Structures are given as structure tokens and as C-alpha cells.
Structure 1
Amino acid sequence: MFSRFESLVDPLAPGPEGQPPAQLGAFVWHFVRQSWKVIAVLLVVAGVVALIEVSLFDFIGRIVDMLADTPPGDLFAVHGTTLLWMGLVAVVVRPLAATLHLMLVHQAVEPGLTNLVRWQTHRYVLRQSLSFFQNDFAGRLANRIIQTGPSLREAVVSLIDAIWYVTVYTGSALFLFAQADVWLTVPLLFWIAAYVGVLGYFVPRVKRQATIMSEARSMLTGRVVDSYTNIMTVKLFAHAEREDAYAREAVVDHTAKFRRAMRYVTGMNIALVIINGLLIAGTLGIALWLWHGGAVTIGAIALAAGLVMRINAMSGWIMWVTTGIFENLGTVTEGMGSIARPYSVVDRADSKRLAVPEGEIRYEGVSFHYGQDRGVIDRLDLTVAPGERVGLVGRSGAGKSTLVNLLLRFHDVEAGRILVDGQDIAAVSQESLRAAIGMVTQDTSLLHRSVRDNVRYGRPDADDAAIWAALRQAHADGFVPDLVDLSGRTGLDAHVGERGVKLSGGQRQRIAIARVLLKNAPILILDEATSALDSEIESAIQEDLESLMQDKTVIAIAHRLSTIARMDRLVVMDAGRIVETGTHAELIARNGIYARLWARQSGGFLGEIEQDPAQVLGP
């Protein structure tokens, strides 16, 4: 029975394509409509449950009147059928309706809708551009996605219950009171007006403060996660107290906003206690006055007392539910700020898969500024022939990494175009473009998974034999068998920690190189690929990189010029433009920027490289 209800909402449903709506109502409906049948049934069942609850108070009033008007010996003979029906409602119908309501809420909607929102928002955000993630805390983004799901679900479920209970209880109370005597409705009408007034004043203010507090909570989460993510830097610079101060600012800010929100909550509850007291005293006072005059029965007084006490309890629940709804909607609104944002890099509707039979790369009049006034890449032309190995050289900020990022289409060019084998990369799918490019970066980041999973990221269908072959080629087979994690997993099964923190820099780099070796893409990008390695390992891997680069188009970036001196051609960049191009020997002979950079590095980084360019380049 549980599994049947649990299967009503599929948390892994793919959902509608495209950006989630940026308006609150449309955003909520975007997810609710995917399980609207279950929500509709829940709405009906919640109404039935509320009606049954009210009917119990009607039963109490009628039973009191039966006891007052019927001799004890005739009670069951006269009212037996009615009493049996009341018992059936209390013992059978009410539990069945409540069970159905609980099953729909706890088995279908809560786990299903909650994780459907999380799954679909995660899938959408995961495909945002690189700059989207670079401009925010990873912890804050994750917190917003995780919190939006339960907040949206709780708002929907609470709204359904609140609507029915308010409608059924107040409506039924007015109807039953009017049946007994219209004067009994007067205190309830005044209470409804006052209750609406209290809600109208406090709820918008609580909602506003809830949104502000949710943003402060996300900021606090982001700062704490930022410290944990960069714990090595914190330790190296002995800045625990500085991080305390960084987090303290967020704690102080969150506390102040939390207290401000709680002031409104306290004021709301004080107002509620006052109007509830007036409702109880007014209703019972009028009921006793009417009974004293013979206008109502004792059963009517029992009904009025029971319903008023129930409304008194329910009003507090409704107030909290309403506040909770707006608090949850505030969290959803905050989450929308990160989730419901358009992609900055989008595939065209008619985009095709990139085909790379040769591997030629051509930049034609490319400009890109990162939104700045001055150019980072300015009207640049560059052709890399199929199978050519080109090294990019230049000072920091010259535009080398930007040139690579544009090829990977992490950003769209502002002018010009980039072609791969004659195909404009803006007209092909991003997935197929990046599948054709292998890249090893200086800042190697591994997934907090096993060594096997990290290497297999290069080719998901690879078996262990292929994985070990890649590890041997990257000179990682010497340390991987000895790896052991805290759970006792060893070798390929050992987990490497967040971003690979359980490995040394050189070990991480070798795993990353193995991953790219396994991918075996036709275009290869090396961005300081051996910077984290010692000279002995670097020398060994350089030999393997030579074989890796065979029959591939290669773009290599290195500040350590010895690592790219063997390239077919070197391209020297400065201020977003190409200022020199040629072989190592040609550029040394030209005595320009490259020659000066080479001279500066001829002592420290280049001990293992012969100074004679002819010897460096080989025959």
C-alpha cells in the first residue's frame, strides 16, 4: 500500500524544457502542475477531513440534546440509528479519510514533490555557464536548491489545509450558530473581521522579513562553506580568527534579521490571544443569555462552546500555517533568484553535433571584453592547423586563458567567430564541442568519488583495464594501489576527498592527466598541465604527453617556457593581441618579448633544459 502511494509522484520526472518561470505563482505552478492529479485529490480529501471534524462538534451538541430530551431507557430505541451512524463516522469514515490524507501527504507529495523540485532545479542550474558559478558561493547555490524543494511543497500542502479548515470551520460555525440563533453569529463575525485584519497587517511583514532572513541564512551558509572549502588556505595562513570574523559578520546580520522577524511573530500572537479571548467570552456570554431566555437548548451551548474552543485552537494553527506559508514562499522567492535565470550561453535551436575529422581551429576577428571597456581579446586572428602543436605565451592577463575559454565556449564571442574544421562553434551543441576537446588544467579539481570514477570521467564506458592503462601512461600506477580512504576502500575504489584533497598536488595532476588520456579527444588543451609535478615525474610525463599529442591539434599554455619550447609554433600574446609568432629558435633570434621572457627564466625553471635552442628543439 505504501509503495502504491509513493509511486504517484516521480521525483526524477524530466519536467518541461527551458527556464523555470521568474514569477512566484508561475514558478510554483511550474512544478505543481506536474503532479496536479495528486494535488487535486489531496484538495478534495482535505475538504472531506475538515467537514468530518466539524460534524463531530455537531454530534456533541445533538447528543447533549438527546440526553436532555429523552429518558435514559428510551435513548437507544429512539436514537439508536442516529448514534450508530455517528459512531460509524467517528470509528470508520474519519480514520479512513485521515489515512488517505496522510498517505497522500507523507507518501506521495512530501518526498515526491520535494525531490522533483530539487532534481529539476539542479539539472537546470548545472547547465548554467561557468561565469554563473564563478559569481556566487557554491554553498549558497546548493542551499537554495535544497531549500526551495521542501519550502515549495510545504507552502502548497499548508495552503490546501488552511483554505479548507478556514472555509469549513468558519462557514459551518456560522451556519450552525445561525440555526440555533442568529445572535450567536455576532461574536464570530466580529472575530472573523478582526482575524482578517491581524493577518492583513502582520503576514506581509512576516513574509518580507522571512525573505530577508532567508537571504541572510544563505549568505551565512555560503561563508561557512567557503571557509571549509578553502580550509588548506585557512590553515596555511593561520587565519582561523579571520574566518571567525568573516562568519561572525554573517551571524550578527542573520541574528538581527531573525530578531526583527520574531518581533512581528510575537506581536501577531499577542493580537491573536486578545481576539480569541473576546470570541470565547462573547460567544459563551451570548449563548448563556439566550439559554436563560429559553431561546437555545443546552445542546446549542455545547455546540457553540466546542466549536469556539476548536476555532480558538485552529486560529493559532492557521496563523502559524499562514506565516509558514509566507516564510516558505519567501524561501522559494529567494531560490528563484538563483534558479530562474536564463542561460548566458545557449545552444541554437538548430544546433548540430560537432564533427572533427581533421582538428583545424580558426579564430577570425575574435573580440571579447568580459563586459569591460577595454579589450581582453581584441580583433584576434589565429589558425591552428590540423595536428599542429601551438604554445601560447604571454604575461598574466594577456588573454591566453580567455582564448581557450572561448574555444570551449564557456563564453560567447562578442565579435568574430571561432571555427573547428570549418564549423562555427556557436552553431554546434556545447556538449559535442567539449566532448571533442581534452583539457588538463593547472588547478586540478577531482570529484569526491573513487579514483575509478574520476578517471572514467574521461570515458564512461571504460573498463578497469583501460583505466589502468591510462594510469600507467600518466605514471599514477605507482601510488594508486596504495591508496586507502577512511572507509577502508583501496586502490581504484578509494575516494579522493572533496576536490581531491586527500591526494598531493602531483597525484591529483596525474589522475587528471590519466582522465584526459582516457578521453582521447582530437583536440588537446594543456593549461600548465605539469606545473604541480616534480622534475623527475614531469620529465617522465612529458614523454607520455608527446605520444598523447600525436595526431592531435594541441594548444598549450605555460608560464614555465621550458614545457612548451618543443611546440611546433609559439604564439606570444600581449593585451589581447598576438604580437609574435614562430618557433622557439625563431623567437629567440628575434630578440623580442619571448626572448626576454626566456632570458628571465633561464636560471630557475629551466635547469633541465639546454640553453641552445637547437638542442631544445631537437633535430
Structure 2
Amino acid sequence: MKQTLPVANTAEVRRHARRLAARHPRELGLTLGLHGLAAISGLAAPRLIGDLVEGVQHGTTAAKVNQVVLVIAVFVIVQSLLTRWARFRSFALGEKVLAELREEFVDNALALPIGTVERAGTGDLLSRTSRDVDALSRTVRFAVPETIVALVTTLFTVIATMLVGVWILVPLLVMVPLLVISTRWYLKRAKDGYLRENAAYAQMTSSLAETVEGARTVEALGLYDERVRRTDADIRGSYLAERYTLGLRTIWFPVVEVTYLVPLVGTLLFGGWLHINGHITLGAVTAGALYANQLIDPVDRLISWMDELQVGAASLARLLGITDVADDREPTGRKPSGELVEARDVRFSYVDGRDVLHGVDLVVQPGERIAMVGPSGAGKSTLGRLVAGIHPPRTGSVTVGGVGMTELDLADLRRQVALVTQEHHVFVGTLRDNLAMALPHPEHERDDDEKLWAALEAVDAREWAEVLPDGLDTRVGSGQVALTPGQAQQLALARLVLADPHTLVLDEATSLIDPRAARHLERSLAAVLEGRTVIAIAHRLYTAHDADRVAVVEDGRITELGSHDELVARNGSYAALWNSWHG
């Protein structure tokens, strides 16, 4: 099983919950006050009915009965109105808190070091953004408000019950040991059980995603049976995890159901005995029994939603857990003194004890074009990611203007160096939105349209962009106008032009465009990028032919470094690659 992202502990979850509550003291106070008033309104009926029974026993009039019924009706109506208002305020507060949690999670997820996400796998993060957010959504929207209602109602009902007479504590306290013992038994096991359930689901999601994304590889290598076995094992793991939590509920819920009957039966039996012996009135027995019966509903809701709270707490622990990921950046506030990019004795490993880069040295002068070539798996992309500041080196240093890449904050780093890979994303929105996000100022202005069109033209994308239904206002992305892989990649390159960093790392950035179009695009891009430092990683050697220098990367080392002509004349690894490619 892949390493998963961290999970927050119980203390962290409680602290965060308290912080959320402290952000909204006014709304929380109003909500609790309304629920309290609603609960008090609901407590009038049992006492009035008890008094009515007492009155009937000693003789009363029809007018008196009608009066009591009318008063009870008024309290019921008032309770209904207060309950509706209280629930509305509870749900409104829940939506506000949920929105804050979602925004915090997105901020924290975007701040995760890319290397950490890659090691954990996208399945874990995907399950947190989908399953855990959905579970937490149900908890915040329903479980928390319903729990508040149940707690407040239970508290006031117990107080009202005690006002009938201290004797009623006897049947009420009888249920407490059984309820406390069974609940503690459940809570002790529930959180870990739900965490295992969510982790098993994340593993299953990750496995399914890998199978779907690598479907062609699975088919080509005949891995169908192996992937089916892997999926079956993951599904079984998820099944066993869910069966465990279900087993806890099948034990706990029946025990709790039995405890509900104890106060009512005990009140009737004990109260009846006291009445027969002349210690209390029949009205007190009636009111006590009605209160004991009325107590069942809030306690039942409290117990029922407690299970949902456990699910929500486990999900919140997973969402908060990503804040425990150690940042691989250590901003110092220093500013680069120039644009010189240097890598000195760089070593790097994805797995402890297995370096993929071994003492790499590379100095890139401002405005220089470097092409990195070599066999697949040699370490070209890894070196490019270190130069772009994606990963810190294990040992050695990678600097720009004398400042380490990971010593710059992300905003400052992206003004210095940008990485464009063969991976790209088209965001749901207009074409203008997809481009304007790369501009230095946060708010797009219509005057910027000329810059957007210029950037599209620079990457040979203006022609197809102009024929879109609404031009820059055309909505693209999932469910909208679909861009081809080549167009999406041109869009990514246009963002690069707009971002205007002085150093560019192109990791096979034109790999999804056909060779003729890629050649034309790179020539057009070269004119726009004149004067910038460019580090291009590619298998197509015409990129190397046009570069100022070529770095040949083999087995995590730079084995050759020089101009195209120098390396061809040297008749080494590069010359062999060139002769093989050039025919």
C-alpha cells in the first residue's frame, strides 16, 4: 500500500473545532438561544397534562379542560415556530462553517509539496477531496445542528423532569451506567475503524485510477488478470473495513435502544408505587412519565448522530492532516542578485538510499539555451524539476542569483523560473480566464486582451482561437468547448508567455503536438523568448541542434556538455543519438 498523507490526531481536531466555533460566537449564541427557547416551549405540555390529570381526579370543569388544551396548543405552535427558526439558523451556520472548511482544505491542498503528493498517490488526495468532503458536509449540515438540538433539548427536559420531583432521578439514573459503558466501548473503537475505512477506500480509488489511466499499458503487457486481482484485494480490504464499523453499530445500537425504555418503565413502576403509598400525586406520576417519554427522542437523536459525528471527525482528521505535511520550502526573504542558475553537486532521491541524481553540476548563463537529452529514466526531468524549484536537492544546491530555489517563496520563485511539462490543464471557464490567470495583476482588465491575443499568436494558437464561437469569451474545459491535446498545450505555453519569467524549463512541452507543428511552434516561441534562459528537456534532437549547449544526462549524471557541433565532433553518446535520429 502506498504511503498516505498524514491524519490529524484527536486533539488537533478538537482544537480546530473550537477555533471554528470561536469565529462565529454571535451566530452560535443565537442558535443555542433559539434551540433553548424551543426546548422550553416543548416542556410545558407534560406539566400541564399532569396538572389536568390531577384536576380531573379531584373534579374540574369542561371550561378548565378547554383552557388547558388551548394553552398547550399555543405552546406547541410557539415551539414549532422557534424550532423552524432555530434549525434555519443552525443550517445557515453549518453552511458557513462548511464553506470555510472547504476553502481551507483547497488552500492547504494547493500548498502541498508536489513530491509529497506524488509519493502518496493521487488516490488518497482524491478520496479526501470527494468522500471525506462529502462526509464532512453531511456532518456539518445535519449532524452538528441536530446534535445541538438534542443536547439543548435533553438538558432542559432533564431540568424540567427534576422539577416534578427528585424521586424521578432514580429511574433516570438506572439507564446511565449501561448507556455510558456501551457508548465508551463504541467510541473507543469507532474513530480508528472509520479512519481504516477511509484509508481502504482511498487505496481502492487509487488502484482503480491507476488501472483506468494505464489501460493501454495493462492491455499491451497482458496485466489484465493481475490488475483484476489487485482490484479484488482492494475491494475486499474496503469491505472488511466497512464490515468492522458496521459490526460496532449492530452491537451498540440495540443496547442503546434497550436503555431508552428503562426511564419510562422505571418512572411508571417507581412513580406508581410512590403514589399508591401516598408520597406523590397522580399528576406528578403522569408528568414524570411524559417527560421520561419525551426524553427518548432527543437522546435517540443524540446517539444516532453521534455515529455520524464519528464519521465526520474521521473525515475532518484526514482533511486537517494535510496541514501536518512538512513544507519543503524555507523562504529566507533574500532576493536573487541576478539570473544566473547554478546546480552544484546535486544529489536527489525519491526513495531513501536510492539517488537518481549523482553529484550533478550545471551552470546556466542568463539568456542561454540549454537542451538536456538522454535515454528515458536518466534523470532529465528530475533535474529540470529541481532547477524549477519543485523539489529541493537531497544534498548540494540549486540557486538563481545566488539564492536557493527553495529559499524563495512560491510567488517570487514563479517570477524567476517557470516549468512547463507535457501535462496540462484547461480550467472550466472562458478562454480569457484561462489565460488571464498568468498575468501579474490578479484582476483581468479588458485592456489586457491585446496581450492575450499576442501570447496566443506567439504560440501559433491565434488562428484556432479566433474561430471559436465567442472568441476569448468562449467557455472551455470539462463539459464546454473541448480543446484538442495540442491546443490545450498551446494554451499552457501562452500562459508561460504571459507569466514572463526570466528562466523557463520546458519538459517535453510540445510532445502532444505533431512533429511538424511542434517544430513550427518552437520556432515561433523562440522569437518571443529571445533573451530568456531556456532549459529544454526533449527526445526530439532538433531542440538540441538549436540550443547554445547540450547536456547529455545518463544514469543521473551529466556525461557530456557542449554545443551541438562540439558533441558531434567528440563522437560520444550524443553523436550516437544524433546519428541514430538523423538517419
Secondary structure of residue in 2 paired with 1:440: strand
Task: Give CA-to-partner distance per residue, 1:458-482, whole Å, 9 cap, x none.
Answer: 3264733332222223222333345
Post-superposition shift, 1:246? 5.7
The answer (yes or no) to whether the contact 1:113–1:153 under 8 Å persists in 2 is no
**Hey, what does 2:128 align to over in structure 1?**
141
**Hey, what does 1:7 align to over in structure 2?**
none
Task: Give CA-to-partner distance per residue, 1:129-153, whole Å, 9 cap, x none.
Answer: 1112222224223123454455356
Q: How do residues 392-407 of structure 1 correspond to structure 2 at under 5 angstroms? A: 392-407=372-387
Task: Give CA-to-partner distance per residue, 1:22-49, whole Å, 9 cap, x none.
Answer: 7221232233322234224433443443
The answer (yes or no) to whether the contact 1:366–1:380 under 8 Å persists in 2 is yes
Overall identity of the aligned pairs, in % = 24
CA distance in 2, matches of 1:229, 1:147: 26
**Hey, what does 1:13 align to over in structure 2?**
none
Post-superposition shift, 1:271? 1.9
Post-superposition shift, 1:265? 1.9
The answer (yes or no) to whether the contact 2:54–2:281 under 8 Å persists in 1 is yes
Distance 1:46 1:226, change over 3 A: farther
**2:35 equivalent to 1:50:** no
**Hey, what does 1:334 align to over in structure 2?**
318
Task: Give CA-to-partner distance per residue, 1:202-236, whole Å, 9 cap, x none.
Answer: 34334443333333344445555566667787899
Distance 1:538 1:417, change over 3 A: same
Distance 1:275 1:385, change over 3 A: closer
**Hey, what does 2:285 align to over in structure 1?**
301
2:570 to 579, 590, 593: 590
CA distance in 2, matches of 1:427, 1:272: 57
CA distance in 2, matches of 1:565, 1:226: 37
2:505 to 492, 503, 525: 525
The answer (yes or no) to whether the contact 2:44–2:72 under 8 Å persists in 1 is no
**Hey, what does 2:57 align to over in structure 1?**
68
Q: Counterpart of 1:62 in structure 2: which amino acid?
A: D
Q: How do residues 400-419 of structure 1 correspond to structure 2 at under 5 angstroms? A: 400-419=380-399
Post-superposition shift, 1:384? 1.2
Distance 1:539 1:225, change over 3 A: closer
The answer (yes or no) to whether the contact 1:450–1:492 under 8 Å persists in 2 is yes
For the aligned residue pairs, the C-alpha RMSD in angstroms reads 3.5
- Structure 1 runs not aligned, ≥5 long: 1-18, 604-619
The answer (yes or no) to whether the contact 1:206–1:326 under 8 Å persists in 2 is yes
**Hey, what does 1:580 align to over in structure 2?**
560
Secondary structure of residue in 1 paired with 2:539: coil
The answer (yes or no) to whether the contact 2:504–2:535 under 8 Å persists in 1 is yes
CA distance in 1, matches of 2:355, 2:234: 37
**Hey, what does 1:470 align to over in structure 2?**
455
**Hey, what does 1:271 align to over in structure 2?**
255
CA distance in 2, matches of 1:550, 1:44: 67
Secondary structure of residue in 2 paired with 1:439: strand
2:402 to 419, 422, 425: 422
- Structure 2 runs not aligned, ≥5 long: 1-7
The answer (yes or no) to whether the contact 2:435–2:494 under 8 Å persists in 1 is yes
Aligned residues: 567
The answer (yes or no) to whether the contact 1:207–1:323 under 8 Å persists in 2 is no
CA distance in 1, matches of 2:245, 2:563: 67
CA distance in 1, matches of 2:153, 2:357: 63
Q: How do residues 59-208 of structure 1 correspond to structure 2 at under 5 angstroms? A: 59-72=48-61, 75=64, 89-92=75-78, 94-95=79-80, 97-107=82-92, 109-134=93-118, 135-136=120-121, 137=123, 138-143=125-130, 144-145=132-133, 147-148=135-136, 150-151=138-139, 156-178=144-166, 182=167, 184-208=168-192
Secondary structure of residue in 2 paired with 1:572: strand
Post-superposition shift, 1:398? 2.8
Name the structure, 1 or 2, with higher relative contact order (CA <8 Å, separation 6+). 2
Q: How do residues 502-521 of structure 1 correspond to structure 2 at under 5 angstroms? A: 502-521=482-501
Q: Counterpart of 1:345 in structure 2: which amino acid?
A: D
**2:474 equivalent to 1:493:** yes
**Hey, what does 1:8 align to over in structure 2?**
none
Q: Counterpart of 1:315 in structure 2: which amino acid?
A: V
**2:369 equivalent to 1:389:** yes
Q: How do residues 239-258 of structure 1 correspond to structure 2 at under 5 angstroms? A: 248-258=232-242
Greater mean deviation of Cα atoms: 225-234 or 129-138? 225-234
**2:276 equivalent to 1:292:** yes
Post-superposition shift, 1:242? 8.0
Secondary structure of residue in 2 paired with 1:193: helix
The answer (yes or no) to whether the contact 1:347–1:430 under 8 Å persists in 2 is no
Distance 1:272 1:423, change over 3 A: closer
